[in-house]
Amino acid sequence: MSVVTRFAPSPTGRLHVGNIRTALHNFLFARKHRGRFLLRIDDTDRERSRKEFVEAIRDDLGWMGLDPDAEVRQSERFDLYEREFDRLKSVGRVYPCYETPGELELRRKVLLGRGLPPVYERKPDNAPVPEGRRPHWRFRLDHERPIEWTDLIRGPQRFDPKLLSDPVVRREDGSWLYLLPSVIDDVDLGITHIVRGEDHVTNSAAQIQMFEALGSEAPSFAHEALLVASEGKLSKRLGSYGAEHLREEGVEPMAMLSLLARIGTSQPVEPIASLDELASDFDFAHFGRAPAHFDPQEVEHLNARLLHKLDHDAVKDRLPADTAEEDWLLLRPNLERLSDFRSWFDVLRGDVDVPELAHDERLLMKDAAAVAERLDWTQEPWRALTAELKATSGKKGRELFHPLRLALTGRESGPEMAGLIERMGKSLTLERLKAAAKR
């Protein structure tokens, strides 16, 4: 089993959330079925397909762990396309057309004005060729054979080819549109499944006849519902929200992938720590037909929930070198992004900026330092410290705990204090209490 994900290099940005979702679904499907996940770079437009744009695609996929088993570039396969194009031309399945874009648009408006579908009208084979014009080329659909397939998501599909325009496959300048080269690639690479958005359903209908014209059986298709942003815009217009944005924001790739794997399905959206786990229950039977609503805030929430469950081994290479597993387990419930860890680690090991305390709070810190000095630090020091202060000062609740937290962490909230001061140790705890008593 083989699937392929395609990207056209572009100077407009890195991979956005819509095409990441499609690539992810191709990857998970291949991973679950132990098949091949192929990357095809549609770089036939040489002006747009510069080296740095191609490298950006590879970089984004690598960051997400969506590593292809192989990569092909269409710019290296022109000889193959020419051979197959000539073969189709010899049997009349591709043919030249000489209308200008203006003429085609005018005819389209005329048909619409008559209440007719704006389908391209073939010229007779013996129609005169306009002088001085170069042709564009269309694939000749077989109007006598309905196009049918059972989509893995949409179910039974049926198209009347008489209601479809013969698709343009090659421009006047000889450059390729993606429809025919993609089919030629899929045949050559042995692609068995094609996963893409439902905006390609009509293209798939035309391509099924292209597969047949090339003497090959069409792959299985899965057309997933489009991704829709909260304001109703479609996935291709979600703009810059994608791999580059998330990396700059310090979001874990698995937070986004956890959402994109489940959004629009009957499965719960929850933080999943590995691609293998996501792949294990990936099934197109879970996918619905309604548009999948994407909310960037869900990625933020999932990112925090994911961090709260990650083991130390999963992140230790990205933490300060002297971070112990106990430090990670203590601090991770307070993280929204992994980059937050550094500031909390400073609470454990470094300096803190304590806010100005009231006079009675400074006196309480002086008493707290005296109590902490004589405590046995191996016997639940936080419980012993607060119990004695409660008894001697008469303070309790926020009146007791809030100034202690400020003095020891410089924060209004944070990790559970019992574990925190045990990790800080007696010396640093005393140092901070004494410093707070003098402020």
Q: Is 236 annotated as a binding residue?
A: yes
Nearest partner of 154 among 260, 288, 45, judged by Cα? 288
In Å, how far from its chain's centre is CA 242? 6
Q: 């170069």: which residue's tokens?
A: 134
What is the rounded CA–CA span in Å between residue 400 and residue 391? 11
133, 202 contact by CB (below 8 A):
no
* Rg value, the chain, Cα: 31
- Phi, psi at 153, each rounded to 5°: -115, -45
* Beta pairing partners, 222: 195
* Secondary structure string (H, E, C) spanning 301-344: HHHHHHHCCCCHHHHHHHCCCCCCHHHHHHHHHHCCCHHHHHHH
Q: Label residues 25-35 b or e (16+ Cβ within 10 Å = b).
A: bbbbbbbbeeb
CA dihedral angle for residue 234, residue 210, residue 288, residue 285, rounded to 10 degrees:
-150
What is the rounded CA–CA span in Å between residue 398 and residue 401? 5
What is the rounded CA–CA span in Å between residue 7 and residue 59? 13
Neighbours of 40 (CB within 10 A): 24
- Helical residues (DSSP H) of 162-217, grouped into ranges: 179-189, 201-213
HSE, CB side, 13 Å, CA atoms: give it for residue 9. 22
Q: Running DSSP on this structure, what letter comes out for residue 411?
A: S
Neighbours of 418 (CB within 10 A): 15
Nearest partner of 180 among 171, 198, 168, judged by Cα? 168
* Beta pairing partners, 268: none
Nearest partner of 138 among 102, 198, 88, 78, judged by Cα? 88
What is the rounded CA–CA span in Å between residue 439 and residue 436? 5
Single-letter amino acid, residue 437:
A
3-state class of 158 per DSSP?
strand
3-state class of 228 per DSSP?
strand
Binding-site entries for ATP? 236
Binding-site entries? 236
